[in-house]
Every structure is written in structure tokens, then in C-alpha cells.
Amino acid sequence: MSSVPAPLARRSRRRARGAVGTGFLLTPGGVLLVLFAALPLCALLVIGFTTDAGSFSLQNFAEMLGTPAYVALLGRTLLIAFCVTVLSIALGWPAAWALARYTRAKAKPLILGLVIIPYITSQLLLIYGFVSLIQAGGPIMSLLSAIGLTAPQASIMYTPTANILMLVQESIPTAILVMYSASEQINPSVLEASRTLGAGKAFVFTRVVWPLSSAMIGVNFALTFVQTVGAFAEPTILGGPSGQMLGNTISAQLQAGVHEAFAVAMSLVLLLASLAIVGAATGLLAWSRSALSGVSKASRPKAESGAAQKRLSEDALTAEGVLR
């Protein structure tokens, strides 16, 4: 009885050593994350809710939400981010669909490469190229004036339009990549089946394609909206006086280093508002999915819908990660 079989004994020792090893593996990353992810986010909350004197108050939030100019700026920022997100998905989805369905397998890596190059190019270089493109006397404007559409020195630089076009330009690669994954995930035989069963094009889209894609549309919406809502370089460089966003104000105040708590409070309001909009959009998409797919939630087995929910959230996590 005293002699435990050798492999078992070794295994228990190995497991004990494994626990120490796991702690060793987790420590560096854990310390970094606690100090430089958890702490900064908590710091934002603390600073946002304190006065310059250091006591707790809602003064910063009251000041922001009580100033019509800031509320209007917040509204405009959310509106711009919403329009940019919807536009980029609307422009990227058909391209992604063509890439997933109607492109030869050999050409796919090449085309995806062409999408990835602007995707991983520095945002500032893209802005720079865009400015060189649309400035007065640049390629686009000289082309337009050669046709006689605009005056030779006219340009859309320093207008809200330029800002929005730039943000859409930056968001399209994300939209193509995410919606490409979504389009690839739809089994072609499902589309085939609905067609052979007599469904028209519009019916196939609303009842099959949309419900199957809406989860990824939600992921795409979240990714692009959150990125766009915090934009400040684009409006600063391209937007002109009437194309500013809340990010400009926040970054200017942070850089100046005065009234930091107010800038932080604005960031928190912006973060909260954008999370609320992303949540609402995701909820709306989920509702449209169940409403259009013709399967009511009640009739679906509970376990299955739970599993689907879990899979969805896992997918969202991975996609968010891999797609910046």
C-alpha cells in the first residue's frame, strides 16, 4: 500500500510545480494590466468625480452638461461617428460580399493584401495623403477644375465634409475585413436552398442574409464607432472651425494641462454615451435578427439560444482583438 504507482506520484508532484509555474507565467502580465489598464481606468473615474480642491463632486459633469456649447459638441460628435460607421459598413459590405463570393480563390490573398496595406498604414500618413489629394491645386481639385466643375483654387479642405470623408476612408478597411468574415461564414448552400425553395432576392436578403450577418454588423459597428468617436487628429487637421469634434476639446485641454478634471469628465461622458449607443445598436440588430428570421425567441430552445449568445460574445471578443 505504501508504494504508490510511480507515474501517479510523479503526476501529483508535477501538478504542484505547475501551480507555481502558472503563477510565474501570469505575474508579469497581471502586474502590467493592473498597473496600466485597471489603474488608469480607475484614475479617470476618480479624477472626473473630484474638484480641483480634491473633494468628491459632480461639478465637472454639471458644468459640461449645463453648457449648451459642450452638449451640442457631444451631439455632433456622436452624430458624426454614427454616420461614419453606417457609411463605412454600407460601402464595405458589398465589396466584402463580392470578395467572399465572386472572387477567384487565387485572387483573394492579393485583394485582401490591398485592403490590409491601408489598414496597417499609420493614420497620420493616411491623413497626409488625403490632404495632398484634396488640397487646392492637388490631383482631385485640378481634375475637377480642368473639367470646369470648380474654381481652380477651391478645395473641400477645412470643412466638415473633408473630416467625414477622411474618417470613412479610414474605416472602410475594417468594414471590408469584418464583413468579409461575416460573408465567408454564411454557407452557400443555405442561399442555394432558399432560392430553390422559391425565395426572391429581397426575401433572401431580409430573411437569410441579414439575420446571418447582423451579429458581425454589430461587431463592426462597435469597432468603428468606438474608434471614430474618439477621433481628434482628423477634425483638427481637416475639419475647420465648423467640423470640430469633442476629441479636439479633450485633447487640447489635456495638452494644455489646465483644468484636467474637466477634460477627464468629458472623456467619461463621451465613453458612456458611445457605449450606450453601441449597446442600443447591438440590441436593435439582435431584435431585427429574431424578428426577421421568423424564429421567435420563445419557440427556440433555451439552451440553444444561450449557447448561441455565448458563441456570439466569444466571436465578438476575438474579432475585436484581431481587428484593432
Partner 1 sequence: MKNAVLPRILKIWLYVALIILALPLLSMAVLSLNQSRYGTFPFTFTLDWYATLANDTALLQALGTSLNLATQATIFAVIVGTLLSLGMARSKTYLTLPVNGLLLALLTVPALILAAGFVIVFSWLGLGSSSIGLILASIVTSLPFVVLIVTGRLRDLDEHYAEAAHSLGAGAARVFLTITVPLIAPSIIAGGLLAFVITFNNFAIQLFLAPIGISTLPVQIYSMVRLGVTPDVDALATIIILSTVVLVVVLNWLSGNAAKLFTTTNKGN
Q: Which of residues 79-138 bind partner 1 (CB under 8 A)?
A: 91-92, 94-95, 97-99, 101-103, 108-109, 111-133, 135, 137-138
- Residue closer to partner 1 by CB (options 97, 289) is 97
- Residue closer to partner 1 by CB (options 54, 294) is 54
Cβ contact 186:286 at 8 Å: no
- Of 4, 12, 16, 30, which one interacts with partner 1 (CB under 8 A)? 30
Three-class SS of residue 50?
strand
- Residue closer to partner 1 by CB (options 297, 324) is 324
- Of 5, 6, 28, 69, which one interacts with partner 1 (CB under 8 A)? 28
Residue 176 C-beta: closest distance to partner 1, Å = 7
Binders of partner 1: how many residues, by CB under 8 A?
Answer: 107
Which residues between 146 and 205 bind partner 1 (CB under 8 A)?
Answer: 169, 172-173, 176-178, 180-181, 185, 201
Q: Which H or E element spans position 27?
A: helix 6-33
Residue 305 C-beta: closest distance to partner 1, Å = 19
Residue 216 C-beta: closest distance to partner 1, Å = 9
- Of 17, 203, 242, 252, which one interacts with partner 1 (CB under 8 A)? 17
Q: How far apart are CA 225 and CA 83, in angstroms?
A: 9
Q: Does 270 bind partner 1 (CB under 8 A)?
A: yes
Q: Does 309 bind partner 1 (CB under 8 A)?
A: no
- Of 5, 29, 66, 200, which one interacts with partner 1 (CB under 8 A)? 29
Read off the C-alpha cell for 80.
458624426
| Nearest C-alpha neighbor of 316 from the set 286, 288, 296, 271 | 286
Longest dimension (CA), the chain: 99
Cβ contact 237:127 at 8 Å: yes
Q: How far apart are CA 222 and CA 220, in angstroms?
A: 5
The neighbouring-strand residues paired with 56 are: 50
Residue 303 C-beta: closest distance to partner 1, Å = 20
Q: Does 43 bind partner 1 (CB under 8 A)?
A: yes
DSSP state of 56: B
| Nearest C-alpha neighbor of 183 from the set 103, 104, 99 | 99
End-to-end CA distance of the chain: 58
Residue whose grid cell is 430552445: 301
Residue 242 C-beta: closest distance to partner 1, Å = 18
The neighbouring-strand residues paired with 50 are: 56
Q: Report how many helices (DSSP H) and strands (DSSP E) the chain contains, helices first.
A: 15, 0
Give the torsion sign (CA, 94, 95, 97, 101).
Answer: positive
- Residue closer to partner 1 by CB (options 163, 251) is 251
Read off the C-alpha cell for 111.
485583394
- Residue closer to partner 1 by CB (options 273, 286) is 273
- Binding string to partner 1 for residues 45 to 84, with x set by CB under 8 A, is what? --x-------------------------------------
